[in-house]
A and B are shown apart, each in its own frame.
Chain A
Amino acid sequence: MFNDLLSEATLNEAWRIIEAEFLTAIWETVYVTLLATAFSILIGLPLGVLLVVGEKDGVLPLPLWLLQALNIIINLLRSVPFLILMILVFPLTRLIVGTVVGTTASIVPLVIAAFPFVARLAESSLREVSPNTIEMAQSMGASPLQIITKVMIPESIPSLISNATIAVTTILGYSAMSGIIGGGGLGKIAINYGYYRYKYLIMIAAVVLLIILVQIFQSVGTRLAAKADKRLKKKST
């Protein structure tokens, strides 16, 4: 099936399609990914905070049933395969966006799938803050809210950035999958041309672009995290 992959006719056709559709597709992928990540952090970070401070010995203990309910919901959402989740949240998508197909519509299932993941990532970042540091803040009369906003989150910023990078790349992967049910972007192109019409060259091009995007996001994230971390500063001022 690959024998005419590089014939002149195929190459010309592929180039035409790439010229016509790829710029929009890249834009759609980036837009969906970043927007979905932003919403996931908006929901996931506060939940991550609650998971840490709400524990029995935390700075703001929650009722045990509430904490357990939170944990169960997060685990539940994380165990549903993304493809199935997309279909399951159709009613919610229609309620929020008005339609279930299209680039913007795919943001809803992406956020539903990603925020529990982000909550777990935020939880693990925030747990890195030493209990001694929190005790110090308490000894100076910090309120629970002050401890969260002035100690826990600022002290774990480098780790939060690293984990946000993991979230972005994972959501990028999910967004490609959403091409199956009408989401836009590089994923849609790879499936429509490669899977349905056997235009493998287009599929490969789309995949290469996805790889490049992941590389870019990852290296920007790594650099930001390192730059933000004041513990790594060399002894010279």
Chain B
Amino acid sequence: MIEIKNVSKQFNTADGFIEALKNVSISIPNGDIFGIIGMSGAGKSTLVRCINMLERPTEGAIEIDGVNLCELSESNLRNIRRDITMIFQGFNLLMQRNCLGNVCFPLELAGKSKSEAKKRALELLDIVGLGDKAKAYPAQLSGGQQQRVAIARALATNPKVLLCDEATSALDPTTTNSILELIRSINEKLGITVVIITHQMSVVESICKHVAILDKGEVVEQGEVTEVFSHPKSEAARHLVFPEGNFDSLLVNESEQRFIRVIFNGARATGSPLIAKMAVEKGIEANIAYASTKSIGGKAYGSMLLGVTDDNTIVNTAIRYLTNTPDVLAEEVRVNV
């Protein structure tokens, strides 16, 4: 259990006083995949750096399984950091070491013997699917492969928590999916709690169980992903759910409508035939208010916002129809709360 309790962080910079985090409280259960999403400058990176004390909170406490990290000495903190490892947007591999050397790095820091470290590192490279690249240098690998090495390195010390700081932001959509898949399987197999920092809705949608939305240093909403995204209460959440749409005008102009959010998580068909088929088979005319779907390897990813007539039967039928399609999620979005 990670408990972020009333954490505030202030910086005195050349540009003046900055309040990066304001009274942030989040509880992350063990074994969860927890997303922290927000626009750039929302304080996500500062928050994740508070979890492993790369940044010390100005106020508040960070407790991991009941241990308050803020009260630990530097050397105790170094030991506990082996339980809370991190992967980064820029991978941050040691460029002068080969893959094996990179994965051995945290084990060397922990004082493991060379042979022991090498054995474990080879196992981990196998787990991330790079067993044959042990001797390759990072410069010889693609971005996705580099991130896999970074994941293997992060797992080396058997951590309880894996922090992912925009870990897929530098990767193309296909590679992003394969890395997220890897993170999911690690979470399932090893039971590691995963905290994902991202600005991409698609990342949270496809992998997280819980989410917290951070806006200007404050947590504006948190809870289960489906709950938060289907009932976006805050301005920031609405902005994430409708990235381009001006939501208020949508409500005013088409108040006769109700909205269904459709999430494509690798569905076979691309978005449009599904909506067309629904019109043909169920006679429901859906108006596409917003869509952002990508086809990756013949599968659809992304989300879509459908406007349908304000009628319970129609809304329920549509949701049932959409949900019955494999790898498609649908839920009604209520914003007039």
Contact = CB atoms under 8 A, between A and B. Distances in A.
Q: Do A and B bind each other?
A: yes
Interface of A: 130, 132-133, 135-143, 146, 150-151, 154-155, 157-158, 228-237
Nearest to A158: B96
B137 interface: yes
Nearest to B153: A140
Contact of A139 (B86, B108, B139): B86
A139 B49 CA distance: 9
B94 A138 contact: no
13 contacts: A132-B88, A133-B94, A136-B88, A139-B52, A139-B163, A141-B78, A143-B109, A154-B96, A154-B97, A155-B94, A155-B96, A228-B96, A230-B98
B242 interface: no
Interface string B187-204: 000000000000000000
The 10 closest A-B pairs by CB, nearest first: A141-B81, A136-B92, A141-B78, A230-B137, A140-B106, A139-B86, A231-B139, A237-B136, A230-B96, A132-B92
B96 A140 contact: no
Interface in B128-168: 133, 135-140, 153, 157, 163
A237 to B, nearest CB: 5
B56 interface: no
B88 A140 contact: no
Given A141-B81, A233-B140, 16 more contacts: A135-B92, A137-B109, A138-B81, A139-B54, A139-B81, A139-B85, A140-B86, A141-B80, A142-B78, A155-B94, A230-B97, A230-B98, A230-B139, A231-B139, A234-B140, A237-B135
A137 B138 CA distance: 16
B96 A233 contact: no
Contacts of B105: 137, 140, 150
B185 interface: no
Contacts of B80: 141
Interface string B73-88: 0010111111001101
Interface residues of B, number: 34
B82 A141 contact: yes
Among A138, A143, A150, find the residue whose CB has the most chain B CB atoms closer than 10 A. Answer: A138
A142 B140 contact: no
A231 B137 contact: yes
Interface of B: 52, 54, 75, 77-82, 85-86, 88, 90, 92, 94-98, 105-106, 108-110, 133, 135-140, 153, 157, 163
Nearest to B163: A139
A178 B85 CA distance: 55
A176 to B, nearest CB: 35
A143 B109 CA distance: 8
A54 B85 CA distance: 26
A138 B54 CA distance: 7
A235 B92 contact: no
B139 A140 contact: no
A154 B137 CA distance: 14
Contact of A141 (B109, B133, B153, B163): B109
A154 B104 CA distance: 15
A112 to B, nearest CB: 32
Nearest to A229: B96
B108 A150 contact: yes
A139 B105 CA distance: 12
Nearest to B82: A141
A237 B139 CA distance: 12
Nearest to A144: B74
Nearest to A142: B109
B157 A140 contact: yes
Contacts of A237: 133, 135-136, 140
A151 to B, nearest CB: 7
B85 A140 contact: yes
A56 to B, nearest CB: 12
A229 to B, nearest CB: 8
A146 B110 CA distance: 11
A231 B157 CA distance: 26
A232 B139 contact: yes
B78 A143 contact: yes
Contacts of A143: 75, 78, 109
A151 B94 CA distance: 7
Contacts of A228: 96
Contacts of B139: 230-233
A182 B81 CA distance: 58
Contacts of B97: 154, 230
Nearest to A234: B140
Among B79, B98, B109, find the residue whose CB has the most chain A CB atoms closer than 10 A. Answer: B109
Contacts of B86: 136, 139-140
A61 to B, nearest CB: 12
Contacts of A232: 139
Contacts of A234: 140
